[in-house]
Structure 1
Amino acid sequence: MKIFKPVTLLFAILLITACSSDDDATPNYVLESDRDALIEIYNANTNNTLSWDITSTDVSTWNGVTVEDSRVAVLSIGNSNIDDLPATALQKLTALRSLVANNNSFLTINVSHNVNLKNLQLFDNNLTAIDVSNNTLLEQLLLEGNNLENLDVSMLVNLTDLKGGSNSFSNSVNIANGNNANMWRMELGSSTLSCVQVDAGATDGFAGWSISGNANYSTHCL
């Protein structure tokens, strides 16, 4: 029978421990184009407060960034002094499920390539327009406190939470998505909003719904 010497056994234990430590320290891999997109957002906003170490290859350590299956799945950059979200950056982040960018100051955003989004929070910015027609998986859309003049969410068949108070809607907003009965919250506000287009059977609104005093619900807004 072979007997391991104590020194040999100790060396083996130390080697296993070292390998385990190396595994724990291995950075989370993320698609290079996703990392490039984040760096582009960072560099486009020289006064940002993101506190990212963009020299690091492990973007999962960057504040507000969640990586799943080697892709950026969640980006939470609210209150970060951001005035530009470059379309060329966002179009690379095709695995995004959640984008939280409230309380910044950007004027435009293009989320047409972010078709996996389920949560989009852009309240308290300076948006004048937004196109969400490609974002059919959206369940939550928070847009209050912008300068939006038009809004059409009729393509968002999964939407259950919509906030759009304190905007500049010029006439009507279309929320007739075939899912009105399941929208637990719907808030729209503008002094010039006159009509909210809804599903048949929703012309009296539902609990949790609120619109400007001068507006009404209709299945056909002019």
Structure 2
Amino acid sequence: MVVEENGFLDVDILVFGKFIRYLPHIILGLRLLGQNGTGNEKQQNRFKLDKIKCNFSGELAFDGFKINSKAVKEIELLSENLEECLSDKKLKIAFKTPIMIKTGNFPPDLEKLLNMIRHRLILYVNEYGDGENVPDFKCKAITTASNAHFHKLISNSQRTKKKEFHTHTGTVEYLVEEMDGNAKQLLRIGSLIGAGPKPSFGLGFMNIMNG
């Protein structure tokens, strides 16, 4: 990725629950990273943290000088309404960032996609645990249409060296035959945290659309 000189780069950061108290730590970390620079030629890849805006409230949480923690709005996932996206039991999902599927081809069936969301949630909430605190779900659906775009992504790091990620973007449409409350909740969560591996690379984020 290349950002032109004096350009701007928008970055989304997910903060869960009480971790919002660490907003000053996030700001300090980003400012120090910007001072040190990134990549192999760090002198040429320095940046300045301009501002932080809450996506839910639309207000500035950091204006470059002052922190306004009250601008950060918390949302309750269970309060989000999904029914309007399940009109006539049709569901459409658009992958706005590439998704990586370790086994199988794109698109994943809906049950597999929900499992990918669930596994990412388990990673976030109990750090490689067995997921006993994340309930299972029931879902049956038929994939009715899809379109896909293949992406071969290259990653370089000192620890893992050069790696390739085979990913896809696109859309998929499902006809839902059965979906319990846990499955609907996972879809709501997936619309925020995404699905599948490599969340640190920004993979697997999606939009739930009207079917």
Q: TM-score range by the shorter chain?
A: under 0.3
**Considering only CA atoms, is the larger Rg found in Structure 1 or Structure 2?**
1
The alignment's TM-score, normalised by the length of structure 1, stands at: 0.22
Whichever structure has more helix as a proportion of its residues is 2
Whichever structure has more strand as a proportion of its residues is 2
Q: Which protein, 1 or 2, shows the higher relative CO under an 8 Å CA cutoff with sep ≥ 6?
A: 2
